[in-house]
Amino acid sequence: MVNNSGTHDALGESEVFLDFQHMLRQAAGVDRPVMLIGERGSGKELAASRLHYLSNRWNAPFVALNCAALSPGLIESELFGHERGSFTGAAEQRKGRFEEADRGTLFLDEIGLIPIEVQEKILRAVEYGSFQRVGSSRTIEVDVRIIGATNQNLPDLCNRGMFKRDLLDRLSFEVLFLPPLRERGNDILKLADYFAVKMSRELGREAPPTFSEHVIRLLVTHPWPGNIRELKNSVERAVYREEGSEISDLILDPFQNPWETKSENRFPRPEWPVNLKEEIQDLEEQRLLQALEESEGHQGNAAELLSLSYDQFRGLYRKNLPAS
């Protein structure tokens, strides 16, 4: 969300969130590349845009490219542009994102998915501030600050030969880790209230519904693997479905089919090979979350539902949900 001043608002008061915002402001003042690491839905593009609007480049273009949305064959053309007739379908000359972002900021989301051969061209553009369009030998000079974002382990990709170590070194002047929503405490409720108010206005309602105690417990105990995006969808869905003044239930899995019949075979034959350790861990995590939801977040009661002692429950909880 962009306000009239061109800066991006951010909602939160938790210590981890405020610490991240402080680091973001510090990095914005230094005209160097920044790498943002965060889980899906944690707000990486919002953080990148804040970096841009808090920097000295704020009145120049902020250009974003989701590298996951493009096929490997199109990424080079999207980044660097192409000349007419340079490949099938190139009917007109076209500027790339580097040219569009000249004197501004280029945000490369899911940067770990860029093909290795295109990474080489990005490295040259970063090192020399110049490049050639696809199908051209003319050198184009640009002044661009790059912000990359990913939820992958980039050093591990380098070790596996899937990401250029030289490029990672160039782009990681500063590396900032976005705090996951589950670590932000009461920010969850503040964000839920914000999304409820916004959705109510969109629906033309006079006042937003409130959350019941049961829903509040769900909000603060759910691990939110999809982070802010998942929270937003869950709250907005609950608001539009609720015709009264209080939301008494929160559907966390919209794909749960109420008409699905239980298979007589609880363990259907899998597609071999299987990772048995991962399957066991997934089952343990699912049962832990279900028991916590049923017991409204009370871990002692959840342990009883699973026929575990409290110590056994805490052991599984720490193993499967260490950051919850």
Average pLDDT over residues 224-252: 95
pLDDT at position 88 is 66
Asked whether residue 77 carries a pLDDT value surpassing 70, the answer given is yes
Q: How far is 87 from 102, CA to CA, in rounded Å? A: 25
267 pLDDT band, cuts 50/70/90, is low
As a whole number, mean pLDDT of residues 252-279 equals 76
Give the model's pLDDT for residue 269: 72
Q: Are residues 196 and 299 in the same domain?
A: yes
Mean pLDDT of the chain: 89
Could you tell me the sign of the dihedral formed by the alpha carbons of 216, 218, 219, 221, in that order?
positive
Specify whether 304 is located in the same domain as 221: yes
- Indicate whether 142 and 223 sit together in one domain: no
For residues 33 and 154, membership in a common domain is answered with: yes
**How many whole angstroms separate alpha carbon 250 and alpha carbon 254?**
10
Whether residue 244 is found in the same domain as residue 165: no
Q: Is residue 99 part of a domain?
A: yes
pLDDT in tens, 187-230: 999 999 999 999 999 999 999 999 999 999 999 999 999 999 99
Q: What confidence score (pLDDT) does residue 106 get?
A: 98
pTM above 0.85, yes or no: no
Q: For residue range 157-177, what is the model confidence (pLDDT) as tens digits?
A: 999 999 999 999 999 999 999
Number of domains in the chain: 2
Mean pLDDT of 2-22: 72
**What pLDDT shows up at residue 179?**
96
Q: Is residue 137 part of a domain?
A: yes
Q: How confident is the model at residue 6 (pLDDT cuts 50, 70, 90)?
A: very low
Q: Based on the domain organization, do 105 and 248 belong to the same domain?
A: no
Q: Indicate whether 49 and 147 sit together in one domain.
A: yes
Structure-block tokens of residue 44: 């990486």
Q: Is 73 exposed, middle or buried (0-12, 13-18, 19+ CB in 10 A)?
A: exposed
User: 307-313: which pairs have CB atoms within 8 A and are 24 or more residues apart?
Assistant: 313/288
The residue range of the domain holding 236 is 182-259+276-320
Contact 286, 222 (CB under 8 A): no
* Model confidence at 322: pLDDT above 70: no
pLDDT at 84 over 80: no
